Structure 1
Amino acid sequence: MEGDVTYVMRYWMEGEINTFIKVWISAYLSLCYCYFAGKMLPKGHRRLAAFLPVMALFPLLPLQLHSLHLGGITSFFLAWLTTFKLLLFAFDQGPLSIPSISLPRFLAVACLPIKLIQPSKSRENGKIHSEKGHKSFLNYAIKALLFALIIKSYDYEDHIHPRIIMVMYCFHIYLSLEIILAIAAAMARGLLGAELEPQFNEPYLSTSLQDFWGRRWNLMVTRILRPTVYLPVLDWSSSILGREWAALPAVMATFIVSGLMHELIFYQLGRVKPTWEITWFFVLHGACLMVEIVVKKAVNGRWRLPRLIGTILSIGLVMVTGSWLFFPQLLRCKADERGLAELAAIGTFVKDIVRALNFTVNTYISFS
């Protein structure tokens, strides 16, 4: 483990951060081109044709990175969210289509799940943040503590049942995303006067698959897939199946696209040939969600599962199928080992900075 940490430390500090900066400079320059092209070209196929080289570049840029954290973040934002936002922008839709948006804010909105605060709402939002600030701080403090406990628990991995380890991975991913996005929200609010859109809504309280995937888990993906996949397929299938059942193929199409995008991200993380279990995970959940929709239409509100039972069944299904189809693919690219090694490297780096600062301060005091 010591050798792994040393390797990751050297690679991360000497090369990976420099590559990360170069990748994002390339992304921002490409988005500047898209910003001005969007001003000059009318919406439609001409604008889309102008964006296509950039949309082809963004899935390739994360391949320049090898670290799990920096590569994963870059892959998710550039290869998925930004590419889909550019697709919407080509047809004058989505968050990039605000006519008066400035270049800095265009770049921020393109790469991050943020929304701009309207001036008329800034005072109202400030009051809301003041009221919720203490609650949010306590909420994230508890989640940070739980995250630290999970990381520490990995030291005793040999004494923990593998199924419990899988459950820990579920909470590890959820808590790490919550904490990273909370930090990004604070930065967006301070630097741009923008808000990070809420990404999770306590998914462990979900009462159904519809509730989990549509209203609680990874909402930034839901928001980008709805206008790019769900609604177009819904309109197309309405003319064939009618409005009542048009949602079924739209749901399945959305889950298939989500599965393929996860396959792309997993390949970029591990450079491991896809085995398509990730896609089957999402196809399975798409099928289960279709069944849930049909059953709800059939009972028409006359009968409903108790909330606790619904939560146990929905979260249980996500965890069981995740441990079967989803998490083994993370282990194939050694995400657990690499992630822990990178966290250890960051900890060592922070300790070295603290020691250097203490030495500088003590030296200054001794010479004063």
Structure 2
Amino acid sequence: MEEELKNLIKGPLFPLPPNLTRFICFTCLPIKPRENSTSQNQIPKWAFAIKAVIFGMLLHTYDYKHHLSPIVLLVLYSLHIHLSSRLLGRRWNLMVPSILRQAIYFPVRKITERKMNSDQALFLGVFAAFLVSGAVHELIFFYFTRDMPTGEVTWFFVLHGVCTAAEVTVKKRPFARRWRISPMLSRLLTVGFVVVTSGWLFFPPLLRNGMIKRLANEVLFSIEFVKRKFFLLGD
């Protein structure tokens, strides 16, 4: 907790950018300075290429979606969102949790610890961060679809916030050490939970509006445009 408070005091721009250009980029864009260029979080080029190929194949499977079961489509939609975020918005997805930690989680936890114990404050901090994230995503969905918010997306994040906070709290208990499950089973349970809750709350607003189909068509159109330009230059 002491280290978290130190990071909160330093702020997201510590250390200060060395020049005005970097200061503008770090404050106005979803860009975060790398502390270590050899970080293990970097995606290898070959892994990026494989994900790009899988993403392209996934887009073409939508042509045959009428022959696929709802469960298979749900898995494909989940994979679509995952690959889109990894290939197109990875830096943004790294920035959002960082912003929520600094702006929501740490302040809520610090304030609530004055009247609650550490576990309760942690629970409320995590819950508040997910709640705000859900409200923001609800606004983003409204911006893209122009449909009135139904609250489904917010409830998706609220549910994940409650489960995440509960998991963190339980893992701190002594008995949790005796009931550890294997990492592989833990990942399978996590993926299954995300897929089921996504099909229940996250994807319906996008499917009702046809947003996923339009996004897939736009990506395919962009790919065809680049291919035409490439072949024209070759001629």
Same fold (TM over 0.5): yes
Residue pair 1:269, 1:333 contacting (<8 A) in 2 also: no
TM-superposed CA distance for 1:236, in Å, is 0.6
Letter aligned with residue 110 of structure 2:
D
Q: Which residue of 2 aligns with 1:231?
A: 106
| CA separation of 1:290 and 1:348: change in aligned 2, threshold 3 A | closer
Q: Which residue of 2 aligns with 1:177?
A: 85
Separation in structure 1 between the aligned mates of residue 168 and residue 17 of structure 2, nearest angstrom? 40
Residue 195 of structure 2 is aligned to residue 319 of structure 1: yes
TM-superposed CA distance for 1:333, in Å, is 2.9
Q: Which residue of 2 aligns with 1:219?
A: 94
Residue 205 of structure 2 is aligned to residue 349 of structure 1: no
Separation in structure 2 between the aligned mates of residue 93 and residue 132 of structure 1, nearest angstrom? 22
TM-superposed CA distance for 1:338, in Å, is 1.1
Please list the CA deviations of residues 48-107 of structure 1 after superposition, one character each: whole Å capped at 9, or x if unmatched: xxxxxxxxxxxxxxxxxxxxxxxxxxxxxxxxxxxxxxxxxxx98313x65454332123
TM-superposed CA distance for 1:181, in Å, is 4.8
Separation in structure 1 between the aligned mates of residue 51 and residue 17 of structure 2, nearest angstrom? 38
Separation in structure 2 between the aligned mates of residue 136 and residue 248 of structure 1, nearest angstrom? 35
Instruction: Structure 2: give runs of 5+ residues left out of the alignment.
Output: 1-8
Q: Which residue of 2 aligns with 1:5?
A: none
Residue pair 2:59, 2:220 contacting (<8 A) in 1 also: no
Separation in structure 2 between the aligned mates of residue 295 and residue 277 of structure 1, nearest angstrom? 27
Separation in structure 2 between the aligned mates of residue 224 and residue 302 of structure 1, nearest angstrom? 35
TM-superposed CA distance for 1:266, in Å, is 0.6
TM-superposed CA distance for 1:157, in Å, is 0.8
Separation in structure 2 between the aligned mates of residue 335 and residue 292 of structure 1, nearest angstrom? 33
Instruction: Structure 1: give runs of 5+ residues left out of the alignment.
Output: 1-90, 183-195, 200-217, 360-368
Separation in structure 1 between the aligned mates of residue 87 and residue 104 of structure 2, nearest angstrom? 29
Separation in structure 2 between the aligned mates of residue 220 and residue 179 of structure 1, nearest angstrom? 15
- Return the match for 1:334 from 192, 199, 210: 210
Separation in structure 1 between the aligned mates of residue 111 and residue 179 of structure 2, nearest angstrom? 32
Q: Which residue of 2 aligns with 1:248?
A: 123
Please list the CA deviations of residues 108-145 of structure 1 after superposition, one character each: whole Å capped at 9, or x if unmatched: 2231233156xxx7xxx4xx48x999x81211121112
Letter aligned with residue 324 of structure 1:
W
Q: Which residue of 1 aligns with 2:59?
A: 151
Structure 1 runs, 4 residues or longer, greater than 6 Å off: none
Where do residues 284-295 of structure 1 align in structure 2 (5 Å cutoff)?
A: 284-295=159-170
Where do residues 233-312 of structure 1 align in structure 2 (5 Å cutoff)?
A: 233-298=108-173, 299-312=175-188
Residue pair 2:138, 2:149 contacting (<8 A) in 1 also: yes
Range moving further from structure 2, 266-275 or 103-112: 103-112
Separation in structure 1 between the aligned mates of residue 191 and residue 167 of structure 2, nearest angstrom? 14
Separation in structure 2 between the aligned mates of residue 178 and residue 294 of structure 1, nearest angstrom? 29
Q: Which residue of 1 aligns with 2:20?
A: 103
- CA RMSD, Structure 1 to Structure 2 (Å): 2.6
Separation in structure 1 between the aligned mates of residue 85 and residue 189 of structure 2, nearest angstrom? 24
Letter aligned with residue 354 of structure 1:
F
* SS state at 1:240 partner: coil
Separation in structure 1 between the aligned mates of residue 219 and residue 17 of structure 2, nearest angstrom? 41
TM-superposed CA distance for 1:279, in Å, is 0.5
* SS state at 1:253 partner: helix
Please list the CA deviations of residues 159-186 of structure 1 after superposition, one character each: whole Å capped at 9, or x if unmatched: 111221111111112112222257xxxx
Residue pair 2:152, 2:201 contacting (<8 A) in 1 also: yes
Identity in percent = 36
Separation in structure 2 between the aligned mates of residue 322 and residue 311 of structure 1, nearest angstrom? 16
Higher relative contact order, chain-length normalized (CA < 8 Å, sep 6+): 1
Residue 42 of structure 2 is aligned to residue 166 of structure 1: no
Separation in structure 2 between the aligned mates of residue 313 and residue 132 of structure 1, nearest angstrom? 23
Separation in structure 2 between the aligned mates of residue 243 and residue 132 of structure 1, nearest angstrom? 30
Residue pair 1:143, 1:175 contacting (<8 A) in 2 also: yes
For the pair shown, the structure with the greater C-alpha radius of gyration is 1
